[in-house]
Amino acid sequence: MAEEKKDPAFRLRETKGQMSWPPYAPGTHVRESDIREKKINYSWWEPEVQYAWSAGHAMNVFLDGLKKGKIMGINCKRCDRILVPPRMFCEYCYGPTEEWVEVGDTGIIETYSISYLDSDANRITEPILIGVIDFDNSPPHHGIMHYFGEMDKEKIKIGMKVKAVWKPENEREGAITDIKYFKPMEGE
């Protein structure tokens, strides 16, 4: 019988326990102490890597609005919608957006989460309430994500009416954190 043609990799796999494929290479481990005690030779370089991240034109207007205590949106007349947060083009029709409008600082909870992990993934006992807010003056399903406060974790529900709680005007810096959180409106 003619010898079956096998690729070298296959042959190596056949010899069970003898050799693995790809061949096992133990490598050389470097410990932190080897570096500290200069047991090994190495090069160390700390490059200067600086960046500036721009909010862009639309978000710039939005953030300037926050400084003044306004939540700004922009409308697309073709699709008859208001975009919050604003964008320079409408992602439905790809046309440019047109007029700036204030959407007010009241809305309803579109969706929410009760998080027992903080932003560093530490376990916490008192949960963080977070979710998406639909503004009253914008069409449904157009909202921003923010914290909820002065709210009971048992009472939070989708459709709950909420209102923004702003930082004092002199502490605002043109960031989304100029709104401290959203609190339930009276009667909720």
Partner 1 sequence: MTFGEKQTDPLAKTHWRGDMQADYFYPSGVAGDKFFEHLKNNDDFMVCKCKKCNKIYCPPRLYCEDCFDEIPDDAWSPVAATGKIRLFTVAMLDAHGEKLAVPRVMALIDIDNTDSAMLGVIKTSDLDADLTGKNVKAILKPKDKREGTLKDIVCWE
Q: Which of 71, 22, 73, 90 is nearest to 172 (CA)?
A: 71
Q: What would the x/- binding string for partner 1 be over residues 26 to 55, using CB under 8 A?
A: --x-x----x----xxxxxxxxxxxxxxxx
Query: For residues 162 and 136, is the Cβ–Cβ distance under 8 A?
Result: no
In the complex, minimum distance from the CB of residue 96 to partner 1, in angstroms, rounded to a whole number: 4
Going by C-alpha positions, the residue among 21, 35, 69, 37 that lies closest to residue 168 is 69
Q: Does 12 bind partner 1 (CB under 8 A)?
A: no
Identity of the residue numbered 181: Y
Nearer residue to partner 1 within complex by CB, 56 or 127: 56
Applying CB under 8 A, does 100 fall inside the site for partner 1? Answer: no
DSSP class of residue 84 equals: S
Query: Is residue 122 within 8 Å of 109, Cβ to Cβ?
Result: no
Give yes or no for residue 99 binding partner 1 (CB under 8 A). Answer: no
Least Å distance, CB 94 to partner 1, is 10
Compare residues 8 and 159 and give the one whose CB is closer to partner 1. Answer: 8
Number of residues binding to partner 1, judged by CB under 8 A: 29
Peptide bond into 22 cis (omega under 30): yes
**Interface ranges with partner 1 (CB under 8 A):** 28, 30, 35, 40-57, 59-60, 63-64, 88-89, 96, 174
